[in-house]
Structure formats: C-alpha cells, structure tokens
Chains A and B, each alone.
Chain A
Amino acid sequence: MFNYTVRRLVVAVPTLLFISLIIFLLLDLAPGDPMAQMPLTVPPEVKQKMREALGLGEPIHVRYLLWLKQFFLVEPLHIFDSLLGTDLAGDAQRIISWQTRSPVADIIAQRLPQTLWVVGLAYLVGVLIALPIGIISAYRQYSVFDQAGTFVSMIGYSVPPFFSGVLVIVIFSVKLQWFPSVYDTTHNVVDWDSFVHQLRQMIMPVMVLALQTTAQISRFMRASMLDNLNQDYVRTARAKGMTEPTVVLVHVLRNSMIPVVTVIALGVPTIFGGAIITEQVFKVNGIGQLLITAIYANDIPMVQTLAFIFAVLIVLFNLIADVLYGVLDPRIRYE
C-alpha cells in the first residue's frame, strides 16, 4: 500500500510538469498581447521597456523554468513565512499579477474563503441529501420514489447552472423577494441578524450547486446499493434473523459506500474551481470569478497559476481516491 502510494506520487510529478508545460505554452504562444490595451501614443521603445519589465524579454524556456521555480519554491516559502513569521524566502521574485501588481498568491488567499464557504457547503449539502435518496431508491427499486429520484437527477444533469441559477433568482428573488439575488462578500457575521442575512444570501447558490452534486452522487449510491443488495451475504444476514435496518444500514451500506467515497473524493477539486458559472451568476467573489476576470484582462500569470492549481488538485484527488479505494476495500490490494 505504502509502495503503491509512493509510486503514484512519483508518477504524478512528470504528469504535473507536462500539464504545466501545456498550460504555459498554450498561454504563451497564443496571440493575445498584454500591451494591446495601451494607448497608441505610447512610443514603441517605451512599450518594449514595459514588456521587459513584465518579464517578457527572456527566451521561452527561461521564463518557463523561472515560473516553475516561483510556483514550487518561492510561493510555498512565502506561505511558510507568513504562517510562522520566518524569513526564508527573502526578497525572491514572486508571481505577480499583471492586473493588480500584487502577488498572485495573496489575491487567491483573499478569494479562497468565499469559494470554500459557498461551494464547499453546497457540496456537503449535496452529498448529505444524495446518500439517503440513493439508499431509498435502491431499496425500493422501481417505486414511485425511485422514479421521482431518477427524474430529479436527470434534471440535475440536464439543467445547466446558468439556467437553474437564473431561474431561482426569478422565483425567489424577483417574484417572492425572499433572498437577495447578489451575494455580498463584504458582509461580516457579527451577531444573530447578520448570521441570518449570511444564511439567506447563501441559500440560492448552495441550492443550485447542491442540485448538481445530488444528481450525480445519488445515482452512484443507488447503483452501488443495487449491486450489493442481491449478494449472498445479504441473504445470509437476513437468514440469521437480523433486523432489516441492520442488514441495509450496516451490512449493505458499508459495502456500498466504497465506490461512493471515491466518487465523492473525485468531486472535491470542483469545489475549488468548478463553480465558475455559479459564482458568475450570483456574483460570488470567489476563485472562479477571479479566473474569469483574469482571462478578460489578459492577466497571464494569474490564469497560469489558477489553471495549474486546479490541475494539481485534480491529480492529487485522483490519487487520494485510488488510495482510499485500496484502504477501504480489502479485496483490492495494490502491489
């Protein structure tokens, strides 16, 4: 098991390097120009100087290696410094956003809490709703509840978030006026009233995101339960005279959770980056919105860093899912 984990980690390094190269080249060879917005009165030699100040004068492999060094060495050291108050990084060059001229990592650290709160909570809610739905759907296969569950998850698959988000705004915000349509990120929770306000503004984005999570995970839960319900050990458990709740909720559920847990782990990277559209609909000031504004503004260091962080998370959680599978299922032993 340990060997397997180490081997996977070692394989992950070239994968990530290759992905970083793809992202770097895609952005670098593309015809976009950060100087495109400059007024025409700026003379060409000044433009050339500005280009060099942005670090664009160097050859491409130098810039790629510099970016890698900044991403893997300088930025972690800075994070370490700010946590412990040490001064390991010194004044090494950090990855600077072209939009704001401040380090990319600082901006991401500012935006991350909003995303984690809204999207993370939505994921949690979605999973918590999905599990019972999946269990009941499988236990009462082809019942009315099962049919309804199938239909709802079909809708969750088919209605894109930019429509379901706008739809709940029309219903709950325009017609009923229950919740605010725009998420206020400057809102501080200090007392009960502001906590209620925070809850009210979070309900709609969480609802939209949770619908999608629920749709996927409840289907997996149902399929996994159905696989296990017809197994011999279930009949044995019933024959021993165990009560129905014990059979279903202890024996079958524990075995069915194995693939579902890995699916849940695979979905975690989307918490950090996948809610781009939902954040845009509700004006949540999170990571997804940061990416969109950076793309609009041709802010290449920001886009590179964000895209690569997403890639790291995807690779990492794929690995975690595979390892979890081996830990939870004694039938699977990696050599």
Chain B
Amino acid sequence: MNEAVTTKREFGLPPPRSQWWDVWDQFRTHKGALAGLAIFTAILLAVVIGPWLWPYDPTYADLRSRNAGFSLVHPFGTDQLGRDLLARMMAGGMVSLAVGMTAMLLSVVLGTLIGVVAGYFRRLDGPLMRLTDLFLALPLLPLLLVMVMLFREALSRRFGPETGIFILIVTAIGITSWMHTARIVRGEVLALKEREFVLASRSIGTPPRRMITRHILPNVMSPIMVSATLGIANAIITESALSFLGLGFPPDFPTWGRLLFDAVDQLQLYPSRVILPGVAISLTVLSVNYIGDGLRDALDPRIRGR
C-alpha cells in the first residue's frame, strides 16, 4: 500500500482520492446546493439542539403573558395561551423533520426493493410494474386523508395518541410515495444487467442475492440518493398538508403544519404566527430541493469534472 503511494508520488501523480471527494468537489460548485446544505444543517441543529438550550417548555402555558409580541424573552412572541412560540417552533420542527425523514426512509426502501426486484427478475417485472402504475393512478391526497381519518382511532388506542399518529402518518406517506423511486431504480437495474461486469460475476456463479447487494445496489446509489432528498421535501409537505386540514397530529402536539393551521383563525390580528411556521416549512423544503438539485449534478459522472 505504502509502496504504491510512493511510486505514484515519484511519477508526480496526485494522491489517490475516493469517488466521494470528486462528488463533493462537483457539489461545491453548485452555489444553491451549498446554500441549501448550510440552511438545512442550521435548521436541523436548531431543532435538535435548540430545545436543550431554550429554557421554555413548548406546552407550558403562561397566562400572564398571552399574545406577546416579539421581545428578548420571547423572540417569536407567545400564542393565545401564553406558550412560547420559539419553543413550539423547535418542537414542531423536530416532529416535522422526524416524520419527513422516517417516511422518506420507508418510501426509499420500498421503492428500491420493488425497483431492484422488478429490474433483476424478469418474471416479476410485469406484475410489479403494473402494481406501480396502479399506485400512480390512485388519487393520493384523498386516499391519504381517508386513511388517516379511518385508522387514527384504532392506532392511537393501541400505541397512544402521539406514537399512533406518528406511525400512521409515516406509513401512509411511505406507502404512497415509493413509485417514482421504483421506476427510476428499475430502469437503472435493467441497464446495469447488460453490462460485462455483471456477466462476469454471473459466470463465476454468484447467487442473485449477493449479486444485488455487491454489484447492483452500489451502482444505483446515486439515483436513490437524489430521490431520497426529494422524498424528504415531499414527506414534509404532505405531513404539513394533513396537519393543515386538521387530520394530522393531535392539537396539543405541535408540528409546523399544525402551528400554521391553529394560527389561521387569528390571521387578521397576528399574521406573524402564520408566517413563521410557513417560512420554516418553505425554507426547509426549498433547501432540501436545492440539495437534491446539486446532488443530481454532482452524482452524474457525465457532468462531473466539467
């Protein structure tokens, strides 16, 4: 190992780099993606670390300081029950981001599984792709609403109101958003299957399971990563939409969509309460979309290095 490095040095070659350094170099040239990454990291840190540092509890109602405006004590003011809005925004962001990431994970795992299986095993291709088409033809938002409405009682009885709704919303979003990932992954797998290295690997008797984990999956990582970032944005918007329609988390459990929904009634008097969670949602989604845009360029070897 050491010898190889020194030989390369002697010939004046740059030290070896992994593929991810190239990806990072390309990613850095995309200004929007870099800004998106910075903003998303800042939001993530504020939401995760913020509640540890901020002295107010999001559910503590201080009735003497109701409807306070912006001040040093309450930077975002307080709501009609005197609860500190900064604390509520941080708590709400935690839930929204947790829902977004878990639902994204579920949908990416599901989509990758279906895409790889459909692309690799010819016999399953037809049925699985018809299933994907079927899911694409379903009216998704109405069905999501119906699912949440119908199953919320049963699940909150079994797992408690918060965990139950969390499981319900994450599952509902996850199983209604895997189709695009599955289609993209299937296309990539179909192309990969014809390549020589797959043929070579098959000719030495590699079983399908090892073939998929060793040769197929690492090569379809880039489209999966792009659709994962876009999946976070989609899941956050869907969760907020459900909360906004009053079918999301229970009232005393803040999420960004719920905070927005609660504030719409006092729109005329306190517009800032609507704008703050709205800006938080939009900024998160915007930054995630920009990251996805940059990632798509950075992971495309045809663009990289230009």
Taking a contact as CB atoms under 8 Å apart, the answer to whether A310 and B142 are in contact is yes
Query: Roughly how many angstroms separate A162 CA and B146 CA in the complex, as a whole number?
Result: 19
A307 at the interface (CB under 8 A from B): yes
How many chain A residues touch the partner (CB < 8 A)?
Answer: 40
Closest residue of B by beta carbon distance from A291 = B142
A280 within 8 A of B: yes
Q: Does B278 contact A (CB under 8 A)?
A: yes
Verify B233–A277 contact, CB threshold 8 A: no
Contact in complex: B139, A174 (CB < 8 Å): no
A166 and B267 contact, CB distance less than 8 A: yes
Q: Contact check, A30 vs B150: say whether CB atoms are below 8 A apart.
A: yes
| B139–A311 CB distance below 8 A | yes
Query: Most chain-B CB neighbours within 10 Å: which of A18, A159, A291?
Result: A159
Neighbouring A residues of B271 by C-beta, 8 Å:
170, 174
| Nearest opposing residue in chain B for A29, CB measure | B150
Is A295 touching B145 in the complex (CB atoms < 8 A)?
A: yes
A155 CB to closest chain B CB (Å) equals 7
Of the residues B149, B278, B290, contact of A163 by C-beta under 8 Å: B278
- B1-45 interface code vs A (CB 8 A; 1 in, 0 out): 000000000000000000000000000000010000000000000
Q: Given the interface contacts A159-B282, A160-B237, A170-B267, does A295 sit within 8 Å of B244 by beta carbon?
A: no
How many whole Å from B175's CB to the nearest CB in chain A?
A: 12
A-contact 0/1 string along B118-149, CB 8 Å cutoff = 00000000000000011011110111011101
With both beta carbons as reference points, the residue of chain A lying nearest to B234 in the complex is identified as: A157
Cβ 8 A contact of A158, one of B142, B260, B285: B285
Contact A27 B142 (CB under 8 A): no
| Residue A22, interface by CB 8 Å | yes
| Residue among B32, B237, B240 with max Cβ neighbours from chain A (10 Å) | B237
Interface of B is mostly: helix
- The answer to whether A307 touches B149, judged by C-beta atoms less than 8 angstroms apart, is no
Query: Is the beta-carbon distance between B274 and A160 smaller than 8 angstroms?
Result: no
Within the complex, which residue of A154, A162, A167, A280 is in contact with B286, where a contact is CB–CB below 8 Å? A154
Measured CB to CB, the closest approach of chain B to A328, in angstroms, equals 22
For A315, the chain B residues whose CB sits under 8 A away are 137
Closest residue to A23 on the B side, CB-wise? B143
Judge whether A162 and B137 touch: CB under 8 Å.
no
Chain A residues lying within 8 Å of B247, measured Cβ to Cβ, are 295
**A276 and B141 in contact, given A160-B241, A170-B267, A170-B274 (Cβ under 8 angstroms):** yes
Query: A15: which B residues are within 8 A, CB to CB?
Result: 133-134, 137
Known: A30-B151, A31-B150, A155-B286. A306 touches B137 (CB 8 A): no
Number of B positions contacting A (CB below 8 A): 43
User: Taking A163-B260, A314-B137 as contacts, is the C-beta distance between A169 and B290 under 8 angstroms?
Assistant: no
| Complex contact B286–A311 (CB within 8 A) | no
**B153 interfacial contact with A, CB 8 Å:** yes
Is residue B211 contacting chain A, with contact meaning CB distance below 8 A?
Answer: no
A318 at interface, CB cutoff 8 A: yes
Q: Are A19 and B134 in contact (CB under 8 A)?
A: yes
- Chain B residue nearest in CB terms to A18: B134
A92 near B: Cβ within 8 Å? no
Q: Is A79 an interface residue (CB 8 A)?
A: no
Residues of B within 8 A of A158 (CB): 233, 282, 285-286, 289
Q: Which of these, A26, A157, A160, A273, contacts B146 with CB under 8 Å? A: A26
CA distance A161 to B293 in the complex (A): 22
- Flag B187-218 by CB within 8 Å of A: 1 or 0 each: 00000000000000000000000000000000
Contact A166 B264 (CB under 8 A): yes
Q: For residue B240, which residue of chain A has the nearest CB? A: A160
Smallest CB separation, B107 vs chain A (Å): 18
Nearest chain A CB to B5's CB is how many angstroms away? 40
User: Which residues of chain A are within 8 angstroms of B267 by Cβ–Cβ distance?
Assistant: 166, 169-170, 174
Is the CB–CB distance between B240 and A27 below 8 Å?
no
- B154 contacts chain A at the CB level, 8 A cutoff: yes
Docked pose: A290 CA to B276 CA in angstroms: 30
B295 vs chain A, min Cβ distance (A) = 15
Q: Give the chain B neighbours of A159 by CB distance below 8 A.
A: 278, 282, 285-286
With A and B bound together, what is the CA distance between A30 and B153 in angstroms?
10
Q: Is B49 interfacial (CB-CB < 8 Å)?
A: no
A274's partner among B141, B149, B260 (CB-CB below 8 A) is B141
Check A32–B149 contact: CB distance below 8 A: yes
Q: What are 24 sample pairs from A and B whose C-beta atoms fall under 8 A apart?
A: A18-B134, A27-B146, A30-B151, A32-B149, A154-B286, A155-B286, A158-B233, A159-B282, A162-B240, A166-B264, A167-B275, A170-B274, A277-B244, A291-B142, A292-B245, A295-B145, A295-B149, A307-B146, A311-B137, A311-B139, A314-B136, A314-B137, A314-B139, A315-B137
Residues of B within 8 A of A (CB): 32, 133-134, 136-139, 141-143, 145-147, 149-151, 153-154, 233, 237, 240-241, 244-245, 247, 257, 260-261, 264, 267-268, 271, 274-275, 278-279, 281-282, 285-286, 289-290, 293
The 9 closest A-B pairs by CB, nearest first: A30-B150, A310-B139, A163-B278, A158-B286, A158-B285, A162-B244, A170-B271, A159-B282, A160-B237
Besides the contacts A15-B137, A157-B289, A162-B257, what 9 more A-B pairs have beta carbons closer than 8 Å?
A: A23-B143, A26-B143, A32-B149, A160-B237, A160-B285, A276-B245, A291-B142, A311-B138, A314-B137
